[in-house]
Structure 1
Amino acid sequence: MRLPNLPVPGVGGLRRAAGLGAEAVRRARNVADAGRFAERAERNGLVPNAAVAVFFCTGPENLFQLEQWRRPLEHLAATRPVFVVVDQPDTGQAVLDAGTLPVAFAPGSGALERLVAERDVRVVLYVNQVERNFRMLRFAGPVHVQLGHGESDKAYSVSNQHKAYDLTFVGGPAGRDRLGAALRGFDADVRTVQVGRPQLDHAYPGAPDWSRASGLRVLYAPTWEGDRPSVAYGSLVSHGVAVVEALVAEPEVRVIYRPHPRTGLSSARHAEADRAVRAVLARDGDRHLVDTGPYGWQWAFADACVTDLSSVAYDWLATGKPLVVTEPVAAEAYRPASRLLDELPLLPAPAAGSALEVLRARGLGGAGVETDPLLADLSRHYFGETADGASTRRFEAAVEAAWTLASAG
């Protein structure tokens, strides 16, 4: 018997089908694990009364969003109790495994209503803009605060969803101005609070055991190639080998190369460039590092950074240390309105070999950020004052003010 001519799915279709199957399996496993996880969450510790809740009702693949804030939240918990709300066992398990914050399991509307009422939740923090946030936002009693998971000039940072929250904590004047200019009827002077970058005030694991006297440390952290031309910001093919060759040619420089985890997913040329950069570094034995581990330790450890149009650029800017941002070669790459990108000269591909010279001009090996007034001014614009724990003090004071507002009714 001749079979009918049926459409054959392409590679993308097969991947989507496989993804749907994996998601169905995950949902079924979460249903089966709900009772056991509820017991584990209770054994981990009582959810405190009149506390600050972090609403994180999403899948474990987004744990990086919470991880951005975990250490500042754990520090806050020493003076104002904090717990995390999850609605999926695998997410809750990941949160418990990653840190010390207690977890409340609220898998449905009824459980969430009981949690808010019985535990007298005063403040709710959100690290993303997922639709499930509105399950918690419907409660009028708590003060709802959008944190986000990183400073950026991208469209995500001016979502109309910001209007749903009582307050949005931003890094500095840039975040306030960005929201005020983009959102109709949004009083940014009232609805935003500038808290800097409290993540900088904490230690992170993963740094290599390099002697401080062994040389200057330069982080090269290119982003991936993107899955469409408008976000083709990755510099590996256009800049990568030339940047790294220039860095390793200087005997006093040690390179930390941190490729994006998705490098090569959409472009064989980027995968090839990644291998080429690794080969350049390998010529010096173990003097340099290919970094695929945790993120955060690089801020304090490295002396300077070369990166692309990505969140790493803003993270690094907050350190106040020398920074070079590459210029995308793709004509279609979208460039958002941004003081960082408009005022900081970008490194074009033909000049990639001058990366070290540019870093030196911006203060590498010198007295610090004040040798480059532009970087210092941009850092203040995006994050305000960040030295000596200033961000942590502002963040915790802002949370306390929100808690007081909720308590006052």
Structure 2
Amino acid sequence: MPSAGLSPRRFTQLAALLSIFVLFTAQIVSALLPNVPVLIAASAAGLALDTYLQYRNPGLLALLGKVRFDVTVRQLLRDMLVLVGLLRIDGIDAASEQAPLLVAVCAFYALHFACQAAAVLVRRTRTLPIVTRNIDASALHLTAAPPRILARRQGHRLLTFSIPTTVGLLLTAATADGYWGGIGVGVALALVGGGTVYLGTWLLPKKRAKSEQKVTQWVDKWLADYRPTVGMYFSGGTTSAYQANMWLSTLSSISSTDTRPLIVLRERFMVQKIDATDVPIICFPKVSTMFSLENSTLKMMLHPANAAKTSQVLRIPTIKHAFINHGESDKLSSCNPYAKAYDEVWVAGPAARERYALAEVGVEDKDIVEVGRPQLAPIRPYAGPPTGPYTTVLYAPTWEGWDGNPGNTSVVLAGENIVRQLLADDGVRLLYKPHPMTGSVDPRAGAANSRIMAMIREANAKRSGSRPDAEAAAELVRRSAELDQLTKTAFRPGADEMERMLLQGTPRGDREAAIAEATLAWDKAYWASFPEWEHQIITDARPAIFACFNQADLLISDVSSVVSDWLSSEKPYAVANTSGMPEEAFRTGFPTVSAGAILTPSADGVPALLESVRHPEKDLFTAARAELKEHLLGPSDPPSSARFSAAVSALCTAADERRVRMESRLSSELPSPREEAAEETAQDPHEAEETAVG
């Protein structure tokens, strides 16, 4: 039984590691005695356990690699111990049987290392200098990747190809006949040798990636044919893709004959992190290749986030740059001094303009453009108090941030109290959607998040009632399959970067509309698949935060862009104050909270908050929310989409005007050939006279 404080999963992992060492110990002792039955059992069990863990839990075996006991060392030790055992078993001739087996085993490992060297070369030759998506790359003659077990899975390859060797040697130990060991090692040699030769065919010119020069030329030609005008530039870590994904629908909506969008990435892995879209995607891992954009028709670049590599694209003088951010809040990160590096800073409404003025970070008012938040269109407006038996509350706290400010997230100091108060009300249905980065910096936030989830599961266990029929669950499965087919490209497990680029070369053209329709159908099926009384913990990408908005009657959150987005619905909301500031100072310092209730860390105000939601006449912030909405997000007329498109057109025009000025200036500074000839003549009059006399 696992001890208290040790989870079953951790106990199983420790037991597996201990079993590996126990089996090695048994193999050593049985080889020296010798004890043939134990040697056979320990050797076979060790290989079986190692192979199983290699396929099912490779992360656990990675711990052994950290102490230099990796898969190659383990399997080599396993084989050598069997050979040592054969030396001590009567009836097996060392010269005629064991020596050839030893040589054959050494040859097997030599071929294994040769195969590994070939795998490294293949991976390098298939690494493209530029990666694309939604772009026809047939001109590059891309090919499928080699089998994963040969090219990328060294441990899997070694253990799988070692099975015949181990079986043959153990049969030799059991029968004292070297014939079986010879057959086993022969089969293993054929497998690894044939695999190495087959893998080597990927080093031939037809299967190799084109050179950087040829790929760059191909990209330049594609850019000249496509003639992009508006790009979205993004660089970030593995968990930051949502910052770009929230702008995909807006970027797609501006696509037209005159406005052709493009997504520019810098990290290879990010190509697959971007959600389904028909917008062409180009990833420039190196700065040298990225400057193909300088000679393109690209006029402006949108930036949803600041990153270390952003400065590299800002060096391209032919492109105008606008910072659009990935959300607006009252946090200092929404007024980063880096923003002054852009030509313009696009914000939702007057509040952000005022925020930059107060922050004094160098962003001038003339460079700020109010465009609203066009991606908020799916959020439904307030339709009155809840009419059913349950009030749906969305608790969506943000993460802890990098600066250690206790006011960043309510999860640590107030989260459990808020959830406890909500769960105490039998008329509440809770939707808990924590930020995906919760606990990534402060372990306390991760621990509190886990306890909150446990509280919700426990509360669900105490509730009962009718559940949707099987048809509702089946409908969700159907809708999930339909949406996955639209949003995900099916890659085989061994697909590499080049193969994925080959499969994602041609966009559908109508994907955006199809995905929007399928997403709405999926959302409807998702909520219908749960009983109305059941609390939900939502940590997956679907349903999205806006879908949760449309289900909720009340939002409880922190100072974050979630509050600004929620205000577009004009529904009631509350913000947790864990900063230690008095309420008046908190409201003054963070304007986004001025039209909502403030919760202290003890969350004592939750019952009164719920009462105001159920009885709108007790809601003191109705008018304030409407006023704050316009202050934060700008006017409803013209709509945000129109204002955003107008801002795009204006900045593109500014880029065109700059190009005209630069071309005019260069043409005036560089003399024409006729003028050059006249200057040469004027500078050497004696030569002209001699020519005339002659």
TM-score with structure 1 length normalisation?
0.77
2:529 maps to 1:279: no
- Across the aligned residues of Structure 1 and Structure 2, the Cα RMSD in angstroms comes to 3.7
Which letter does structure 1 place at the counterpart of 2:242?
F
Aligned residue among 169, 176, 193 for 2:346:
169
* Secondary structure of residue in 2 paired with 1:89: coil
Partner of 2:609: 358
Mapping for residues 32-111 of structure 1, pairs under 5 Å:
34-35=127-128, 38=131, 42-43=135-136, 48-78=226-256, 80-95=259-274, 97-111=275-289
**Which residue identity is paired with 1:293?**
D
CA distance in 1, matches of 2:232, 2:435: 28
Pick from 606, 631, 638 the counterpart of residue 381 of structure 1: 631
Aligned to 1:293: 540
Is 226-235 or 51-60 further displaced after alignment?
226-235
Pair 1:408-2:657 in alignment: yes
Looking at CA atoms only, which structure, 1 or 2, has the larger radius of gyration?
2
State the distance in 1 between where 2:133 and 2:351 align: 42
Does 156-165 or 259-268 show the bigger shift?
259-268
Q: How many residues are treated as equivalent by the alignment? A: 370
Corresponding residue for 1:201? 377
Distance (Å, rounded) in 1 between the aligned partners of 2:317 and 2:457: 53
Most deviating of 395-404 and 273-282? 273-282
Matched, 1:259 2:417: no
Residues 106-145 of structure 1: pairs in structure 2 closer than 5 A: 106-117=284-295, 119-145=296-322
Structure 2 gaps, min length 5? 1-65, 67-120, 139-221, 381-385, 465-530, 659-694
Change in 2 beyond 3 A, CA 1:306/1:142: same
What is the aligned partner in structure 2 of residue 7 from structure 1?
none
Equivalent of 2:394, from 219, 222, 225? 219
Query: Which residue in the other structure is 1:243 paired with?
Result: 418
Label 1:151 to 1:31 Cα distance change in 2 as closer, same or farther (>3 A): farther
Kindly provide the CA deviation profile for residues 26-75 of structure 1, in whole angstroms up to 9, marking residues without a partner as x. xx999776428636563279553142011113344321110121222122
Relative contact order higher in (CA < 8 Å, ≥ 6 apart)? 1
Q: Tell me the CA shift for residue 402 of structure 1.
A: 1.4
Report the Cα distance in structure 2 between the residues aligned to 1:233 and 1:277, rounded to whole angstroms.
Answer: 23
Distance 1:398 1:83 in 2: 17
- Quote the residue 1:321 is aligned against: 571
* Distance of aligned partners of 1:181 and 1:259 in 2 relative to their CA distance in 1, 3 Å threshold: closer
Bigger fraction of residues in helix: 2
Amino acid at match of 2:324: L
Indicate conservation of the 8 Å contact 1:124/1:145, yes or no: yes
CA distance in 1, matches of 2:455, 2:289: 53
Partner of residue 644, structure 2: 395
Partner of 1:21: none
Give me the whole-angstrom Cα distance separating, in 2, the residues matched to 1:292 and 1:371. Answer: 30
What letter matches 2:328 in structure 1?
A: E
Give the whole-Å Cα distance in 1 for the aligned partners of 2:569 and 2:561: 13
* Alignment correspondent of 2:35: none
Q: Deviations over 1:310-365 (max 9, x none)?
A: 3322332333211011121768xx97932234664411134x2542532543x556
SS at match of 1:255: strand
2:430 is the counterpart of 1:337: no
Paired with 1:102 and 1:50, the residues of 2 have a C-alpha distance of 10
The gaps in structure 1 that reach 5 residues or longer are 1-17, 19-27, 205-210
What is the aligned counterpart of 1:148 among 317, 325, 331? Answer: 325
Aligned residue for 2:241, secondary structure, equals helix
Please say if residues 53 and 121 of structure 1, whose CA atoms lie closer than 8 Å, have aligned partners that are also in contact: yes
Checking the alignment, whether the CA contact within 8 Å between 2:321 and 2:343 is kept in structure 1 is: yes
Change (3 A) 1:186 1:233: closer
Aligned to 1:11: none
How many angstroms apart in 1 are the aligned matches of 2:379 and 2:314? 33
